Amino acid sequence: MTNPLIQIDDEIREMTDEEYAQYEATIANADSMPSAE
Amino acid sequence: MATPPDFTTGAILTAAQMNAVGLWLVKSQTIGTGVASVTVTDAFSADYDNYRIVVSGGVSSVSAGALNLTLGAAATGYYRAGAFMSYSGGSITGFNNSNATSWNGIFEASTNIIDGVVDLINPFAAKNTVISSHTSAVRTDGYSLFQGGYLADTTSYTALTITASAGNITGGTIRVYGYRN
């Protein structure tokens, strides 16, 4: 399984495991949004 | 010179006239294909205290997604409160986060468009960063959403990141403008 893509300015690549962990933490509070999937 | 200025073809602009320009495009970043997050570096500097961020165009891989906003490496301390009302009516609904891992739902993303407008006060200064934002869900069952909040640290930031809370995003542009001090 591959990690999601991260873009930093014009560079696009797969997230490292550390970046993926940060990504997961960043969206952890997303459940309070109205009707977001 | 009048306000707003009435420039004419071939006119030589003075420093005073150029220095009166109130909003300056600092950076424009095109969003790539199928990315889950986009970081814009060197967005904030000592040149401006306050900034406007506009995200427009592009699409999400999901019909009803939201994009979160973070600054630099800050992974906690995001406070926000807001309210939304659906286009079909009903009551105004409030929501909030305290000491969260991001400012949630700052931009709406759908298969139609990614959109949102944000004002940030003092992201570069060693002070609390204050946010106010508005976004509209562009779909028939959508809503309009206003938020305000702050980041509970006094770190100086130069970069911002938008992160899709579901799916990924393709296309569109992130534009960062500085408000002249």
pLDDT tens, position by position, B129-145? 999 999 999 988 889 99
Q: Which long-range contacts (CB under 8 A, 24 or more apart) does A14-18 make?
A: A15/B36, A15/B37
User: Cα separation of B52 and A35, whole Å?
Assistant: 26
Structure tokens at B84: 């939304």
Structural element, H or E, at residue A18: helix A17-26
Shortest distance, CA B36 to any CA of chain A (angstroms)? 6
pLDDT of residue B7: 81
Interface contact A5-B34, CB threshold 8 A: yes
DSSP B129: E
Closest residue in chain A to residue B141, using alpha carbons only = A35
Interface touch B64/A25, C-beta < 8 Å: no
DSSP class of B33: S
As beta bridge partners, residue B38 has A7, B162
Contact call for B104 and A5, based on CB within 8 A = no
ipTM of the complex: 0.91
**Residue A3, token pair as written in the block:** 């990690």
Whether B39 sits inside 8 A of A25 (CB atoms) is no
More confident residue, B52 or A26: B52
Distance CA B56, CA B162 (A): 13
Spatial CA neighbour of B35 closest among A35, A28, A3 = A3
Q: What's the pLDDT band for A36 if we cut at 50, 70, 90?
A: very low
pLDDT digits (tens, 9 = 90+) for A8-25: 999 999 999 999 999 998
Residue A23, chain B, CB below 8 Å: the answer is yes
Burial of B91 by CB count in 10 Å (0-12 exposed, 13-18 middle, 19+ buried)? exposed
Across the interface, which of B29, B75, B105 has its CB nearest the CB of A33?
B105
Average pLDDT, chain A: 84
Q: What pLDDT score was predicted for residue B14?
A: 87
Which positions in chain A touch B70 (Cβ < 8 Å)? 26
Across the interface, which of A5, A27, A34 has its CB nearest the CB of B143? Answer: A34
Give the nearest chain A residue to B30 (CA atoms): A10
Of A7, A22, A26, the CB nearest to B38: A7
Q: Is B68 left (phi over 0), alpha (psi -120 to 50) or beta?
A: beta
Mean pLDDT by groups of 10 residues along chain B of 181 residues: 75 86 95 98 98 97 93 96 90 90 93 96 98 94 93 98 95 97 93
